[in-house]
Amino acid sequence: MKTNSWRIFPLIIILVVSCRYETRFYKGNLHAHSYWSDGDHYPEMVMDWYKSNGYHFAVLSDHNVLQTGEKWTLANRNETTASAYHTCVERFGDEWVEEETRNDSLLVRLHAFEEYCSYFNEPGSFLSIPAEEITDGFGGKPVHMNAVNLVSLIPPQHGQSISDILERTAIAVKNQADTLDQPLFSFINHPNFGWALTTEHLAQASGFCFFEVFNGHPSVRNYGDSIHPGTETMWDEANIARLQNGIPILMGIATDDAHNYHEFRSGKANPGRGWVMVRARSLHSDAILQALEKGDFYASTGIVLEDFSVTSRYYRISVLEEPGIQYTIQFIGCRKGNNHAEILDERTGAEAEYRYTGDELFVRAKVISSKPKSNPFAEGDTEVAWLQPAVR
């Protein structure tokens, strides 16, 4: 355990101290859907939403598909598809929208990744990255994982248990990364969706070092219930077990898991609910994914940080303040010899520093804002940011 802990922590320290003045934060969403699977809009309309709303990068991670080859969708199935069609034509024009009529049905060809990527990508401004939601299951439980920067499709790997599926999928992603000699980024999706994954599954999933601590889909049960822990509790408990067993820590991301782009309200899986802020050298897929892998990012539902730094002596945070908004900064961790996490320190205000005492197993940070979240995951939510656990 001790060897693995010290293998992880200096990596974060070196990155933050030596590179932070050469980098900047990029805002991105790593989980969204389109007509290529079960989203309710054209892929170009989804990417247009993200670019128009200030994101620097985004992915379409449709279920068990990469956006390649030829696929057509019915444009006059109902009012929603008709509205989507007219909106797309209005935004991109008749020359962009390729359509044909078959047996009184209006069909539209879906643009592939390379097509919409060429349209939207702009050096230093916006980046589309290919992705897939590898959608599997066991015993009626959904087991979903995202893989980003893929070149070829990874089909569901199946397995003899949920843990077996996670392990097989992690191996498949690693094999493609090794074959291509390029970075791929993978994570476990919405563990409480269908109450599918337990803390033990997260603790034992040694092939994955990232999971969705926040997912904006209304059905994923981020906060748990009376008998199931929420994802934050699962995160801490899984990390305690992982460190005790010599498994690298699990880091938390926030995503939209957006499916619905026409009506924005509670109960819809809308974009704009959760994202990552990645500190990277450039807006290039390699730079973004390498920064994610090193943990140089935070997850947010609205809070913007001015800076954060992690060294061998302290964990320091500075929030970019909004007038009239109150901030609470919590440092959460587990003390050595304990089997539970706790709030180690809590400060009000936009800046805080936690000085290690030497008895912490790990320390992570959470920033809570008094500002209500617009179009929230759940009624009453305020804006939050989660920072990654640092291993002592």
Range of the domain at 293: 2-71+110-391
Instruction: Kindly report, residue by residue over 154-190, the tens digit of the pLDDT.
Output: 999 999 999 999 999 999 999 999 999 999 999 999 9
The pLDDT, as a whole number, for residue 21 is 52
At residue 203, does pLDDT exceed 70?
Answer: yes
* Total number of domains in the chain: 2
Q: Are residue 184 and residue 227 in the same domain, yes or no?
A: yes
The pLDDT, as a whole number, for residue 242 is 98
The pLDDT, as a whole number, for residue 8 is 38
Q: Are residue 38 and residue 162 in the same domain, yes or no?
A: yes
Instruction: Kindly report, residue by residue over 219-245, the tens digit of the pLDDT.
Output: 999 999 999 999 999 999 999 999 999
At residue 19, does pLDDT exceed 50?
Answer: no
Q: Are residue 89 and residue 195 in the same domain, yes or no?
A: no
Token digits of residue 152: 């070829």
Q: Are residue 60 and residue 84 in the same domain, yes or no?
A: no
Instruction: Kindly report, residue by residue over 46-69, the tens digit of the pLDDT.
Output: 999 999 999 999 999 999 999 999
Assess contact for 28 and 272: CB atoms under 8 A: no
Give a three-class secondary structure readout of the chain: CHHHHHHHHHHHHHHHHHHHHHCEEEEEECCECCCCCCCCCCHHHHHHHHHHCCCCEEEECCECCCCCCCCEEECCCCHHHHHHHHHHHHHHCCCCCCEEEECCEEEEECCCHHHHHHHHCECCCEEEEEEEEEEEEECCEEEEEEEECCCCCCCCCCCCCHHHHHHHHHHHHHHHHHHHCCCCEEEECCCCHHHCCCHHHHHHCCCCCEEEEEECCCCCCCCCCCCCCCHHHHHHHHHHHHHHCCCCCCEEEEECCECCCCCCCCCCCCCCCCEEEEEECCCCHHHHHHHHHHCCEEEECCCCEEEEEECCCEEEEEECCCCCCCEEEEEEEEECCCCCCEEEEEEECCEEEEECCCCEEEEEEEEEEEEECCCCCCCCCEEEEEEEEEEC
Q: Which of 384, 210, 377 is nearest to 304 (CA)?
A: 384
Q: Are residue 274 and residue 382 in the same domain, yes or no?
A: yes
Q: Which of 70, 29, 19 is nearest to 258 (CA)?
A: 29
User: What average pLDDT score do residues 304-319 get?
Assistant: 97
End of a domain among 109, 128, 162? 109
Instruction: Kindly report, residue by residue over 346-368, the tens digit of the pLDDT.
Output: 999 999 999 999 999 999 999 99
The pLDDT, as a whole number, for residue 143 is 98
Q: Are residue 226 and residue 97 in the same domain, yes or no?
A: no
Q: Which of 257, 239, 256 is nearest to 248 (CA)?
A: 239
Q: Are residue 101 and residue 238 in the same domain, yes or no?
A: no
Q: Are residue 79 and residue 173 in the same domain, yes or no?
A: no
What's the pTM? 0.94
Q: Are residue 23 and residue 104 in the same domain, yes or no?
A: no
- Per the prediction, the chain carries an average pLDDT of 94
Q: Which of 259, 268, 263, 262 is nearest to 84 (CA)?
A: 262
Distance between CA atoms of 214 and 191, rounded to whole angstroms? 10
Q: Are residue 300 and residue 202 in the same domain, yes or no?
A: yes
Token digits of residue 174: 């690693």
The pLDDT, as a whole number, for residue 392 is 78
Q: Are residue 126 and residue 245 in the same domain, yes or no?
A: yes
The pLDDT, as a whole number, for residue 156 is 98
Q: Are residue 101 and residue 218 in the same domain, yes or no?
A: no
Instruction: Please state, for a pLDDT cut of 70, what percent of the chain lies above it.
Output: 95
Q: Residue 22: pLDDT band by 50, 70, 90 thresholds? A: confident
Token digits of residue 292: 């994610």
At residue 151, does pLDDT exceed 70?
Answer: yes
The pLDDT, as a whole number, for residue 9 is 39
Assess contact for 366 and 390: CB atoms under 8 A: no
Token digits of residue 70: 């030829």
The CATH number linked to 361 is 3.20.20.140
Instruction: Please state, for a pLDDT cut of 90, what percent of the chain lies above it.
Output: 94
Instruction: Kindly report, residue by residue over 69-116, the tens digit of the pLDDT.
Output: 999 999 999 999 999 999 999 999 999 999 999 998 999 999 999 999
